Copies of this chain bind each other. A is one copy, B any other.
C-alpha cells in the first residue's frame, strides 16, 4: 500500500456525505489519501498532533471540511506550512454562510484556500489538491488536462440530449 499524499479532515462524521466528494475526486486520479475526523474544539490536541506531523509522514496537501463557526481549517493551517484547502459545510440554519466566512476570512499570514460551500466545494478541493500535486508529477498534469477535455465533451452531449426534452415538451 502506497503512503497517502493527501489528508482529508472533517470536524464531525456527519460531514462525511459532503467530504466523500473530495475522496472520490482524488480516487479518480489515483491519488492516495487518508481521511479522519477531528474537531478544532472538541479534540484540539488530536488536531494539533495530526496537523503538526502530517508533513513528516509524507502528506503534501490537507483538505479540511467544517460547518458553522468553521475553525478547523484555520486551526490546522496554524500548525503546518502545508497547503490547506478549506471546504465550508452547510450544517447550520445559516446555510453555510457562517462556515464560508469563518473559513475564508483568514488574517494575513495564514492562508486557507477556500472552495465553494458543500459538495461542489468538496469535489473541487480534491481536484485542486491534484492540481497542486501535478506541479511536480507529469502523470497527474496530463490526467488533469485529459479530464478537462472529457468534461467539455460531456457538456456538448448534455446539450444534445436537451433537444429531445424540448421536443418532448412540445417546444421544438
Q: Which residues of A contact B (CB under 8 A)?
A: 11-13, 16, 20-21, 23-24, 27, 35-46, 48, 60-61, 67-71, 74-75, 77-79, 81-83, 85, 90, 92-98, 100-111, 113-120, 123-125, 127-128, 131-136, 141, 144-145, 148, 151-152, 154-156, 158-159, 161-163, 165-166, 169, 171
Contact = CB atoms under 8 A, between A and B. Distances in A.
20 contacts: A12-B158, A27-B171, A35-B166, A36-B159, A40-B78, A42-B78, A43-B152, A67-B107, A69-B105, A81-B134, A81-B144, A92-B105, A92-B116, A92-B117, A94-B105, A104-B115, A106-B120, A109-B124, A113-B114, A133-B135
| Identical copies of this chain, number | 8
A43 to B, nearest CB: 4
A60 B135 contact: yes
A128 B111 contact: yes
Contacts of A124: 106, 108-111
A89 to B, nearest CB: 10
A85 B110 contact: no
A141 B81 contact: yes
A58 to B, nearest CB: 11
A68 B37 CA distance: 26
A38 B134 CA distance: 26
A163 B20 CA distance: 12
A106 B24 contact: no
B100 A97 contact: no
Contacts of A13: 158-159, 161-162
Contacts of A141: 81
Contacts of A107: 11-12, 39, 41-42, 67-69, 116, 120
